[in-house]
């Protein structure tokens, strides 16, 4: 009986531990990227956010036309007011080109 304890310890170290590590590494690699459904959902959400952003910009232009004193603070400017492209726009464009 006492001879089985060292044998079990050695087996668990040299068989069980590497198996456990390789199992979780494989699971991590499989789930390391987004699924096609998740990518499509992100694309839809991105398009919806762009449309909402455009609507808000339109409302702000209407309010600014009606009230000349209205002006957005610099910190609240929308992303499309910036001159450079947004990272997500470039990613979405690459996906559309595929």
List the chain domain ranges. Answer: 1-32, 34-98
What is the pLDDT, as a whole number, of residue 82?
A: 52
Helix (H, G, I), strand (E, B) or coil at 35: coil
* Residue 95, token pair as written in the block: 């996906």
Give the Cα separation of 71 and 61 in Å (integer). Answer: 10
CA 1 to chain centre: 54
pTM: 0.44
The pLDDT value given to residue 83: 43
Using DSSP's 3-state secondary structure scheme, residue 23 falls into helix
Rounded CA separation 64/70 (Å): 5
In angstroms and rounded to an integer, the radius of gyration of the C-alpha atoms of the chain is 27
Q: Consecutive sets of 10 residues in the chain, 98 residues long: mean pLDDT of each?
A: 78 86 86 81 92 91 84 53 55 68
């Amino acid at each position: 009986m006492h001879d089985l304890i060292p044998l079990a310890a050695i087996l668990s170290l040299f068989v069980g531990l590497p198996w456990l590590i390789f199992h979780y590494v494989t699971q991590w690699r499989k789930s390391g990227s987004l699924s096609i459904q998740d990518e499509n959902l992100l694309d839809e959400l991105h398009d919806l956010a762009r449309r909402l952003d455009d609507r808000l910009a339109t409302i702000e232009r209407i309010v600014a036309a009606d009230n000349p004193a209205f002006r957005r603070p610099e910190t609240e400017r929308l992303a499309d007011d910036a001159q450079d492209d947004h990272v997500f726009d470039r990613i979405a464009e690459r996906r559309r080109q595929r």
